[in-house]
Amino acid sequence: MVVPLLLLCIFGCVGIVRVAEKNSEGQAPILRLRITVDESMRNEFFSQLQQFANQHSFEFKLRPAGPNGEGFFIEMTRDDIYINANITRVDPKTVSLRFFDTDPTHPTSKETVDDLLIDLKSFLSAIPNVTITEEE
């Protein structure tokens, strides 16, 4: 009984990550970040993301994720960019954050993405011991 339940939890968490890797239209992200933040700083992390979203006119949504709500999923949306982020219980210190074009037929300029990235890094650098890594 324990093994099937464990497998269900593992596959459920993997499924959340795979769904989050693409947006609702199935497009690949234009930028992917791996952010490491201590669990004790999670509320500060949420706060800094909210401030970043407010400064750049994103609509910000935060909701629990996973079978028991132990993870979270964040969405930040505006006309040109969609950003999502998630943590699962598989690795609760690691956040996967992805940028997408809202409309792939009208790609966001590299300058806009770069400016957002610089500012996001600035907000998150206020959190002790946070690391941000760009992924290929």
Tens-digit pLDDT profile for residues 59-104 = 999 999 888 877 899 999 999 999 999 987 778 899 999 999 999 9
Q: In this structure, what are the phi and psi dihedrals at residue 4, rounded to the nearest 5 degrees? A: -60, -40
Count up the domains in the chain and report the number: 1
- pTM for the whole thing? 0.79
For the chain, the straight-line distance linking the first and the last C-alpha, in angstroms and rounded, comes to 39
How far apart CA 64 and CA 74 sit, in angstroms, is 9
Give the CATH number of the domain where residue 93 resides. Answer: 3.30.160.110
Residue 20 has pLDDT above 50, yes or no: no
Q: Which domain holds residue 42?
A: 2-135
